[in-house]
């Protein structure tokens, strides 16, 4: 991998010579290729469960960003294709070039596929296809505002999350202030996928505004990443930080629109300068992020205080140590738009699943579907002659905020009337062992559970706002 990345980096380097606003953007559901070789519902659910677990593994055990010149390796499990997500379109360059980006609140770097030589391995949307696909790429030589980020540029340290970048020419130079060496290439991990490239300073075009000197990654090689990623996390290189946003919000359309061009809206807002709450929202404060050496990515996440979980009005017995992040970074709950299904540590998931099985008396278990999908429990709900009734799942947060999830947000109906709980945990998935472990967040709230909810990240007042809303 490293030699291949270096080859692409050398080709890329030859291409270059040696706010107050509220913006509404369409938010589109990233869907499977309808023309792909498989639309089997069991396989799709299995794929989503597996990719959600791979994502949780990465979030709980993040790797430090490495340069492409290092020998860094990863043990992160790789699945057939990229995890599902929601995408936005952003415009970079002079003149503008428009590209799709996966919106990701669990990371803090913005990058796009770059140059005519961009290569992406195993990037088909279809969960059973291993074919490579053509992905729109940014072409730096067509933009008069593209510049390589220099090694002495402070933004170089944003890319690598360290002040000690491998800038040999600058470090050994008698006149380091005149150093012209470029910022070292990056190599990023996203659980089921990777990407590598170099840092650019480029112009971001937002409606009638332009934001110059925006730090963005020019990726020339990726694996299982069908689009660029717009990091919305808490780090310095994230899109909200670079734009100095006071808040951003979105409403995720239902997954029944998987094969539809329907979209909802992402709102980027830098005008809010008061503590005023948005009408109709319930709020819970962001929790202080743990600071753990070697796990700097924990500081990027949006932690919230999950106090308890109830099923059918009954409290699920969860060890308290899993609900709050400790000094070692273990425990706590994060909100992650890049995850599909919610992940829960084994110690939380098992009593949750047991409570569902205990309360569901009118449906039988569909254990064969559990094996096929990697989800559990699953219930046979067909031929009942009346609407499906399953116990309510309610999440209770610090500050009094509660979410009573609609049934379609935590159970998915598959095949001929089988409903499966869309929460994953470490253990057997699709016939393979996927051990996530105890490090990092104990709960990762995924996008499936946030369908048809208006979600506001109030960065100025450090709180998360929520309300049920039909996202159309």
pLDDT in 10s for each residue of the chain, 472 residues? 444 444 444 444 444 443 344 666 666 655 444 333 356 777 888 878 888 888 887 888 776 554 443 332 212 221 222 345 788 889 999 999 999 888 899 999 999 999 999 999 887 654 444 455 678 999 999 999 999 999 889 999 898 876 665 565 566 555 555 567 889 999 998 877 899 999 999 999 987 789 999 999 999 999 988 789 999 999 999 999 999 999 999 888 876 645 456 778 888 888 766 678 888 999 999 999 888 887 888 899 999 999 999 999 999 999 888 998 888 889 999 999 888 899 999 999 999 999 999 999 999 999 999 999 999 999 999 876 678 899 999 999 999 899 999 999 999 988 778 999 999 998 744 444 444 556 789 999 999 999 889 999 999 999 999 999 988 7
Is there a catalytic annotation at residue 258? no
Longest Cα–Cα distance of the chain, Å, equals 82
This prediction has a pTM of 0.85
CA-CA distance, 379 to 368, in Å (whole number)? Answer: 10
How many C-beta atoms surround the C-beta of residue 169 within 10 A?
Answer: 12
Is there a catalytic annotation at residue 336? yes
Catalytic residue among 33, 108, 269, 336, which? Answer: 336
Catalytic residue among 33, 104, 426, 458, which? Answer: 104
Q: What b/e string do you get for 250-262 counting C-beta neighbours within 10 Å, with b at 16 or more?
A: bbbbbbebeeeee
- Which tokens is 67 given? 């340069």
Query: Could you tell me the domains of the chain?
Result: 38-61+273-468 (2.40.70.10), 73-162+180-269 (2.40.70.10)
CA-CA distance, 39 to 126, in Å (whole number)? Answer: 8
Strand, helix or coil for residue 434? strand
């Amino acid at each position: 991998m490293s030699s291949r990345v270096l080859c692409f980096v050398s080709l890329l380097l030859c291409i270059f010579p040696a706010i107050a606003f509220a913006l509404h953007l369409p938010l589109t559901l990233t869907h499977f290729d309808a023309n792909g070789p498989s639309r089997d519902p069991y396989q799709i659910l299995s794929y989503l469960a597996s990719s959600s677990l791979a994502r949780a593994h990465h979030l709980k055990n993040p790797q430090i960003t490495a340069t492409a010149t290092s020998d860094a390796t990863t043990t992160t499990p790789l699945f057939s294709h990229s995890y599902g997500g929601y995408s936005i379109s952003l415009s970079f360059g002079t003149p503008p070039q428009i590209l799709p980006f996966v919106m990701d609140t669990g990371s803090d770097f913005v990058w796009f596929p770059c140059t005519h030589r961009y290569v992406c391995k195993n990037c088909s949307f279809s969960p059973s296809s291993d074919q490579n696909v053509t992905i729109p790429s940014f072409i730096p030589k067509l933009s008069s505002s593209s510049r390589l980020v220099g090694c002495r540029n402070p933004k170089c340290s944003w890319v690598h999350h360290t002040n000690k970048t491998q800038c040999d020419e600058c470090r050994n130079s008698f006149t380091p202030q005149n150093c012209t060496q470029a910022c070292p290439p990056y190599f990023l991990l996203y659980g089921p996928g990777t990407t590598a490239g170099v840092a650019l300073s480029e112009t971001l075009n937002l409606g009638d505004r332009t934001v110059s000197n925006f730090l963005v990654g020019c990726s020339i090689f990726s694996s299982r990443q069908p689009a660029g990623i717009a990091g919305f996390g808490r780090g310095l290189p994230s899109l909200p930080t670079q734009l100095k946003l006071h808040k951003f919000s979105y409403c995720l359309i239902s997954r029944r629109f998987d094969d539809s061009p329907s979209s909802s809206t992402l709102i980027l807002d830098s005008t809010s300068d008061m503590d005023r709450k948005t009408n109709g929202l319930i709020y819970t404060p962001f929790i202080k992020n743990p600071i753990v050496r070697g796990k700097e990515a924990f500081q990027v996440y949006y932690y919230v205080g999950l106090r308890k979980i109830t099923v059918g009005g009954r409290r699920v017995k969860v060890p308290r140590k899993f609900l709050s992040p400790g000094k070692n970074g273990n425990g706590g709950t994060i909100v992650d738009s890049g995850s599909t299904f919610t992940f829960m540590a084994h110690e939380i998931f098992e009593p949750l699943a047991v409570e569902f099985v205990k309360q569901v008396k009118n449906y039988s278990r569909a254990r064969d579907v559990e094996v096929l999908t990697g989800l559990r429990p699953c219930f046979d709900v067909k031929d009942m002659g009346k609407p499906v009734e399953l116990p309510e799942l309610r999440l209770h947060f610090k500050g009094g905020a509660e979410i009573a999830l609609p049934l379609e947000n935590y159970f998915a109906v598959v095949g001929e009337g089988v409903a499966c709980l869309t929460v994953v945990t470490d253990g057997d998935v699709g016939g393979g062992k996927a051990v996530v472990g105890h490090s990092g967040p104990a709960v990762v709230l995924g996008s499936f559970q946030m369908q048809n909810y208006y979600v506001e990240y109030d960065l100025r007042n450090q709180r998360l706002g929520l309300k049920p809303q039909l996202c159309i």
